[in-house]
């Protein structure tokens, strides 16, 4: 395992002035640890996201001692609890990989990770639709890699994704937003108070409205009753609901609803021409003619020029991660 620190920004102090700490399958960073001695370097991770990230590289198969090069592995048997076997020799590595994965967990948990990017289709790291072969050698793309399953079970709130799915602009944007949101949550957990929980929830009001209006309401009820229950219990109830909401990919319809909601806070402040322009840009977005960054840029322009509630300026929805990533230019 190795780490790499890259430059940061003070554009939004306290949020991304420090790099995210992300776990990653080592081959995606260009490390030659694949079964065939190669790698699968991912350009988005290495050249775009790395500016904001400290990477923690992991290769279960190599680190458990299988070496490079090595026999290829495959999952066989029960989809929910498969064995991992080298088909050429018939060697069963299930116990070894499960043991290594469990032993690795405390180290990873102590590193305060904010997310993990896993290698697609890998029998150790694959997160979704990994092939599991039955007794007749027929594959079903319904499994999960041994390490990926151990990791997701032990750290259920940690944002996880496969590098292949990051080619989808909406899934990529959702994953990056989740990681920054998760770090804000972990920062709150490190020094909690009822007031800070209220502030956190308020700052994520529009973010939650965009991801899941239903869970936004449920989370709001928890926060409203924070003084009536032990804070530790409220935090324990809030965290899984919050991260569940963040996993829901925002639709154009929900974005439009939030944009129209935000527009209401400018009522009486904008000229008729400015109001009409905002409405037109929101409609252009709804129709798919411009990306979400266009109306959001216009909103930020008016926030700088007009008197609006302070809490509106603190909304993570308006800037959930560094704008240099340009993720909202494509959704």
Could you report the per-residue pLDDT of 33-64, keeping only the tens digit for each?
A: 999 999 999 999 999 999 999 999 999 999 99
The predicted pLDDT at position 14 comes to 44
Mean pLDDT of 240-258: 97
Q: What is the DSSP letter of 82?
A: -
Domain coordinates in residue numbering, the chain? 3-167, 168-331
Determine whether 154 is exposed, middle or buried from the number of CB atoms within 10 Å of its CB (0-12, 13-18, 19+): middle
Residue 4 clears pLDDT 90, i.e. is over it: no
Q: What is the pTM of this model?
A: 0.93
The predicted pLDDT at position 103 comes to 98
**Cβ(16)–Cβ(323) below 8 Å:** no
The residues that bridge with 21 in the sheet, in sequence order, are 54
Mean pLDDT of 222-243: 96
Mean pLDDT of 282-310: 93
The predicted pLDDT at position 1 comes to 52
Of the candidates 203, 268, 201, 293, which has an alpha carbon nearest to the alpha carbon of residue 238? 201
Lowest average pLDDT, out of 9-13, 24-28, 35-39, 180-184, goes to 9-13
Mean pLDDT of 160-164: 97
Spatial distance between the Cα atoms of 31 and 173, rounded to a whole number of angstroms: 25
The predicted pLDDT at position 266 comes to 87
Residue 119 clears pLDDT 80, i.e. is over it: yes
Spatial distance between the Cα atoms of 243 and 261, rounded to a whole number of angstroms: 23
Distance in Å from the first CA to the final CA of the chain: 34
């Amino acid at each position: 395992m190795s780490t790499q620190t890259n430059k940061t920004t003070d554009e939004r102090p306290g949020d991304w002035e420090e790099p995210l700490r992300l776990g990653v399958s080592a081959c995606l960073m260009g490390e030659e640890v694949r079964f065939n001695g190669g790698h699968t370097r991912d350009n988005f991770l290495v050249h775009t996201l790395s500016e904001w990230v400290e990477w923690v590289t992991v290769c279960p198969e190599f680190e458990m001692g299988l070496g490079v090069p090595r026999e290829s592995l495959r999952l066989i048997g029960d989809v929910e609890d498969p064995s991992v076997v080298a088909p050429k020799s018939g060697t069963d590595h299930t116990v070894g990989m499960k043991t290594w994965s469990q032993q690795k967990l405390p180290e990873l948990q102590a590193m305060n990770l904010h997310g993990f990017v896993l290698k697609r289709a890998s029998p150790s790291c694959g997160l979704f639709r990994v092939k599991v072969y039955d007794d007749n050698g027929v594959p079903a793309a319904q499994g999960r890699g041994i390490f990926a399953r151990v990791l997701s079970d032990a750290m259920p709130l940690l944002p996880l994704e496969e590098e292949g799915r990051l080619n989808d602009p909406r899934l990529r944007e959702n994953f990056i937003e989740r990681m920054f949101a998760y770090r804000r949550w972990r920062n709150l957990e490190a020094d909690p108070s009822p007031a800070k929980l209220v502030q956190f929830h308020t700052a994520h009001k529009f973010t939650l409205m965009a991801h899941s209006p239903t869970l936004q309401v449920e989370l709001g009820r928890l926060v409203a009753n924070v003084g009536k229950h032990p804070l530790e219990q409220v935090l324990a109830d809030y965290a899984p609901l919050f991260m569940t909401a963040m996993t829901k990919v925002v639709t154009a319809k929900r974005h439009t609803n939030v944009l129209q909601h935000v527009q209401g806070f400018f009522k009486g402040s904008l000229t008729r021409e400015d109001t009409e322009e905002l409405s037109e840009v929101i409609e252009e977005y709804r129709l798919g003619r411009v990306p979400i960054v266009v109306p959001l840029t216009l909103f930020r322009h008016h926030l700088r020029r007009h008197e609006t509630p302070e809490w509106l300026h603190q909304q993570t929805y308006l800037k959930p991660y560094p704008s240099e990533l340009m993720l909202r230019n494509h959704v």
